[in-house]
């Protein structure tokens, strides 16, 4: 028997780690992995609340989040390969063509 | 026993997340993300989410992370370059972070919702129940998702193709 708030604390910690990584990292692949970490934190709170409310709807939502994450990873990594082919770098600071 | 298992897997999970942040090589970050996902699958099992735990391992730790590692090795991503942080972030970011944290803790203490203990097996989500729900209550969302995946496949192929022009 453990309180649901422990699960939510772990979920918030994972999300905060993801946000920190997204804001501080420079490598574009690491930025994508930080987004995955945030999605995982959200998934954990979906499952915890599903158990709290006693319905399986949270599990379905996690399934959809995973599908969207898979689609995002496929398209995002294709964009990364395309960017690397034209700019020859993975550093997001160097990809500044749209910057004012 | 439940508390011990949760604390063990939660500590592995949090350690993996911190390791993802402090590693400078991309491949090490990817491997620690796999550790996070594996321990999260075990936490899902503690919550009774059997189907979600299995697809977490198969899709996330299996398919998605293999794709990431494949791209890291393909592009030969080495160590991250250091760059100078902006001054605006140093001046406003750190006090703003503290202020936001204090406000968040204060609000949580003011409106503290009722906590509830949950035991192993409080809710059991095997594949047949989840699948039944997926094909009845959420059938429209499921079918729309198939279109999303189709478009993602086509987008990935078009973007990664070497253009001849």
Domain annotation covers residue A98: no
* CATH dotted code for B1-79+118-125: 1.20.120.1200
Question: How close A98 gets to chain B, by Cα (Å)?
Answer: 19
Q: Would the CA dihedral through B23, B27, B28, B33 be positive or negative?
A: positive
Q: What is the mean pLDDT of chain B?
A: 87
Domain annotation covers residue A51: yes
* pLDDT 10s digits, B80-94: 777 666 777 778 888
Residue A90: predicted pLDDT? 83
| CATH code of residue A61 | 1.10.287.3510
Residue B56: predicted pLDDT? 92
pLDDT > 90? residue B78: no
Residue B31: predicted pLDDT? 93
Contact A78 B160 (CB under 8 A): yes
Q: How far apart are CA B75 and CA A11, in angstroms?
A: 32
Nearest to A36 by CA among B126, B141, B36: B36
Report how many domains make up chain A: 1
* pLDDT 10s digits, B126-140: 888 888 999 999 999
* pLDDT 10s digits, B21-75: 998 889 999 999 999 999 999 999 988 888 999 999 999 888 999 999 999 998 8
pLDDT > 60? residue B165: no
Domain annotation covers residue A67: yes
CB-based contact, B108 to chain A, within 8 Å: no
Q: Which residues contact A21 (CB under 8 A, 6 or more apart)?
A: A30, A31, A33, A34, A37, B20, B21
CB-based contact, B122 to chain A, within 8 Å: yes
> Quick check: helix, strand or coil at residue B118?
strand
CA angle A12, A68, A86 (to 5 degrees): 100
Residue B84: predicted pLDDT? 67
Rounded to 10 deg, the angle between the B2-22 and A28-53 helix axes is: 160
Contact A85 B138 (CB under 8 A): no
* pLDDT 10s digits, B113-129: 777 777 776 778 788 88
Query: pLDDT band for position B141 (50/70/90)?
Result: very high
Which residue range(s) make up the domain with A41? 26-91
Which chain A residues have a beta carbon less than 8 Å from that of B40? Answer: 40, 43-44
Domain annotation covers residue A10: no
Query: pLDDT band for position B164 (50/70/90)?
Result: low
Whole-model pTM: value is 0.89
Contact A7 B37 (CB under 8 A): no
ipTM for the assembly: 0.90
Domain annotation covers residue A5: no
Domain annotation covers residue A73: yes
Give me the tens of pLDDT residue by residue for chain A, a chain 100 residues long: 788 888 999 999 999 999 999 988 888 899 999 999 999 999 999 999 998 888 889 999 999 999 999 999 999 999 998 888 888 888 888 888 887 7
Domain annotation covers residue A96: no
Residue B83: predicted pLDDT? 66
């Amino acid at each position: 028997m453990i309180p649901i708030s422990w699960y939510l604390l772990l979920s918030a910690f994972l999300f905060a780690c993801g946000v920190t990584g997204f804001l501080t990292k420079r490598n574009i692949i690491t930025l994508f992995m930080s987004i995955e970490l945030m999605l995982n934190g959200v998934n954990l709170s979906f499952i915890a609340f599903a158990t709290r409310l006693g319905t399986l709807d949270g599990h379905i939502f996690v399934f959809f989040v995973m599908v969207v994450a898979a689609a995002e990873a496929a398209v995002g990594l294709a964009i990364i390969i395309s960017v690397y082919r034209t700019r020859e770098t993975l550093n997001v600071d160097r990809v500044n063509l749209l910057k004012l | 026993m439940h508390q011990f298992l949760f604390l063990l897997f939660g500590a592995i999970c949090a350690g993996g997340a911190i390791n993802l942040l402090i590693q400078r090589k991309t491949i090490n970050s990817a491997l620690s993300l796999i550790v996070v996902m594996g321990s999260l699958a075990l936490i899902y099992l503690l919550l009774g989410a059997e189907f979600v735990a299995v697809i977490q391992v198969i899709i996330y730790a299996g398919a998605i992370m293999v794709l990431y590692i494949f791209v890291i090795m393909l592009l030969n991503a080495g160590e991250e370059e250091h760059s100078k942080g902006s001054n605006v972030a140093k001046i406003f970011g750190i006090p703003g972070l503290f202020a936001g944290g204090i406000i968040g803790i204060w609000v949580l203490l003011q409106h503290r919702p009722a906590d509830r203990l949950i035991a192993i097996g409080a809710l059991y989500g095997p594949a047949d129940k989840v699948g039944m729900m997926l094909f009845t209550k959420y059938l429209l969302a499921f079918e729309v998702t198939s279109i999303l995946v189709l478009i993602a496949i086509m987008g990935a192929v078009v973007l990664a193709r070497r253009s001849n022009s």
